[in-house]
Chains A and B, each alone.
Chain A
Amino acid sequence: EAGVTQSPTHLIKTRGQQATLRCSPISGHTSVYWYQQALGLGLQFLLWYDEGEERNRGNFPPRFSGRQFPNYSSELNVNALELEDSALYLCASSYLLGQARGEQYFGPGTRLTVT
């Protein structure tokens, strides 16, 4: 069984540009979660999508947005990039509704560098 996949592996952007990150969940999982892991800050919850809808978002500005497609894959968009957006962006999926109910499976992440 294939795990959660993310692309690209690395992404280098200039301040002010837009970044698009992609995630494909494990087959059969309908929920996708996005996290930001910046150095020294642990894992910060960004967004949760389930069945094509945004179910919850963390404490991030509106320039962080995304969507989920009918095949449950997901896209994270970061507009007007700032230097502090440099981080590892992790996607996770779960077969249970809601992160708190059980195991999440994480993808390898996209390393975003903003210069």
Chain B
Amino acid sequence: GQQVMQIPQYQHVQEGEDFTTYCNSSTTLSNIQWYKQRPGGHPVFLIQLVKSGEVKKQKRLTFQFGEAKKNSSLHITATQTTDVGTYFCAGPQGYSTLTFGKGTMLLVSP
């Protein structure tokens, strides 16, 4: 079945440094979704990318969908302590199921 791999599993940065997490699928995706889960919290939807090569920005966060629609990345510029959490990508299997990556846990030290 489809696999969605995320790297790195964990990253610890100093506040102000940049952060990037990568998501790779074994199959072509119709779209990709990104979620953030704060420690002790639940996943919260960030964004959905649909088009090949699409780039979307949300303040300091930049999301990219690869040209082949098999990979995606989330880049955070100048991290803040509020960025702490686990970032998940998720890709659909058909229209009825989402396969989540195992997530990248981000720690930000002040």
Contact = CB atoms under 8 A, between A and B. Distances in A.
Interface of A: 40-45, 48, 55-56, 58, 90, 92, 97-109
9 tightest CB-CB pairs across the interface, nearest first? A100-B92, A98-B95, A42-B102, A99-B98, A43-B100, A106-B42, A103-B45, A56-B96, A100-B95
Q: Is the interface of B mostly helix, strand, loop or mixed?
A: strand
B75 to A, nearest CB: 21
Contacts of B92: 98-101
B85 interface: no
B48 to A, nearest CB: 6
15 contacts: A42-B100, A42-B103, A58-B97, A92-B43, A97-B95, A98-B96, A99-B92, A99-B97, A100-B31, A100-B95, A100-B98, A101-B95, A102-B33, A103-B48, A108-B41
Contact of A107 (B42, B93, B97, B98): B42
